[in-house]
Structure 1
Amino acid sequence: MKFGVVVFPGSNCDADCLHAIKTVTGQPVDYIWHKSGSVDGYDCIVLPGGFSYGDYLRCGAVARFSPVMSPVIEFARRGGLVLGICNGFQVLTEAGLLPGALHRNKNLSFLCHDTYLRVENDISPFTSLASRGSVIKVPIAHGEGNYFADSDTVRRLEENNQVVFRYCDYNGEITQGVNPNGSVNNIAGICNEQGNVLGMMPHPERCAEEILGNIDGQLIFKSLLETWQRRCG
């Protein structure tokens, strides 16, 4: 399985993602420059966190028009696996690959701390090794992570099992008190209708090694590898 990590001007989690993928999966992984016109040869594309193009206009709005995004969009529409983390999630919504938008955090402050996530969808390629209702601890680091969508869109997300992660407490309880940024329905990560595109605000690459004191983030990368291996027989 071959991974590609897109690098935009202002990305600051690209090296973290590349290192985590290589360490956790043992699979080949390359950087893909934002001016690239092709993503041929890759099995999974990762859009990392950071501040692409300085978050000018709004987060992800300029990156969406990078030359690389046209082949990424086509790759996703053909069923290719795409993971957007933090700023990558914001880019995916701007590109129309995921519904909704990410607004300023409810307290208008940048947040950087661990959060607990409840796995709501255990059949996605990104959570195939999890069980529904299980809880993982993954850090956040964002100023615009407040997920919002109109009521009809939220209803469809819930009905179609597209909510993959939800902010919760240690025991998996969903309350507003553990919602760090004001996201509707405590949503921390969603997938598209086909299930091959995931956007999530928390950073699994920052909790994927023993030396970091937490390996819960391995779930996402190992699930991707397991999904790919299963698809290839």
Structure 2
Amino acid sequence: MKFGIVVFPGSNCDRDMQDALQNHLNKEVVMLWHKDKDISMFSTDDCIVLPGGFSYGDYLRCGAIARFSPMMQSVIDFANRGGKVLGVCNGFQILCESHLLPGVLLQNKNQQFICSNVYIKGPNTEALKIPIAHGEGRYYADDKLLDELEKNNQVLFTYCSDEGVANEFCNPNGACRGIAGIRNKEGNVFGMMPHPERAVSPLLGNTDGKKVFELLGLN
């Protein structure tokens, strides 16, 4: 599997993602400038990544301007053809703004930027320690959509304690139903607020991020 990482003005986790994929998961990586359009070198077995950061300085809604970058139309077409797309943090926001994923990301409940380690879990998985760093990471959708996400097994990760227990005290940003990541109905577009690329190196004392890529089928 080959990976393309889209770089927007304001991206600040693109090189972290490149390092994680190349040096810790041994993947081939191609950096993609947001003003380019050509991703013909990727097949639908490959994956395009939208990294974290502050695309266009978050001057409008987070991800709202990046959604109109020339590269994004190619990414949308790629996703609609079944290609895998992963959005992390700001990338998750861009996916929601592009309507590749449902729902929105709102300002954190405490109205403050949060940078810390949290625990998340997927269905039938143990708690994984993954860093977060965001000011607008509160996933929001109405109850009807939330019920659909749960019914269709589209909730990838929820916030939890280090023992895997989900409650309001483990929810760092006030996300609806503690949602930390979701996928689309087709199962090829993934979005999450925590940063798995920051938890892949033994030198940092945490490699739980590798398990995230594995759970997403991107290892």
Give TM class, smaller chain.
over 0.9
* Ranges in structure 1 where 5+ consecutive residues have no aligned partner: 121-131, 227-233
Runs (4+) of structure 1 exceeding 6 A deviation are none
Distance 1:170 1:221 in 2: 19
Give the deviation of 1:22 after TM superposition. 0.5
Residue aligning to 1:196: 188
Give the percent of matched residue pairs that are identical in Structure 1 and Structure 2: 56
Residue aligning to 1:104: 107
Residue aligning to 1:22: 22
SS of residue paired to 2:9: coil
Residue aligning to 1:12: 12
Q: TM-score of the superposition, structure 2-length normalised?
A: 0.96
Cα displacement string for residues 116-168 of structure 1 (whole angstroms, at most 9, x for unaligned residues) = 00112xxxxxxxxxxx2321110000000000011111110010000000000
- The correspondence of residues 52-67 of structure 1 with structure 2, limited to 5 A, is 52-67=55-70
Choose which of 161, 164, 187 in structure 1 pairs with 2:156: 164
Matched, 1:155 2:147: yes
Matched-pair contact (CA < 8 Å) for 1:2–1:41: no
Choose which of 49, 52, 63 in structure 2 pairs with 1:49: 52
Q: What amino acid sits opposite 1:41 in the alignment?
A: M
Residue aligning to 1:205: 197
Give the deviation of 1:24 after TM superposition. 2.3
- The correspondence of residues 78-97 of structure 1 with structure 2, limited to 5 A, is 78-97=81-100
Distance 2:141 2:39 in 1: 30
Give the deviation of 1:222 after TM superposition. 4.1
Distance 2:12 2:218 in 1: 24
Distance 2:214 2:24 in 1: 7
Give the deviation of 1:221 after TM superposition. 3.1
Q: What amino acid sits opposite 2:142 in the alignment?
A: D
Distance 2:156 2:10 in 1: 27
SS of residue paired to 1:68: helix
Further displaced range: 216-225 or 183-192: 216-225
Matched, 1:218 2:207: no
Give the deviation of 1:225 after TM superposition. 4.2
Give the deviation of 1:25 after TM superposition. 2.2
Number of residues of Structure 1 aligned to a counterpart in Structure 2: 215
Distance 1:64 1:13 in 2: 18
Matched-pair contact (CA < 8 Å) for 1:108–1:143: yes
Cα RMSD (Å) of the superposition? 1.0
Matched-pair contact (CA < 8 Å) for 1:25–1:222: no
Residue aligning to 1:144: 136
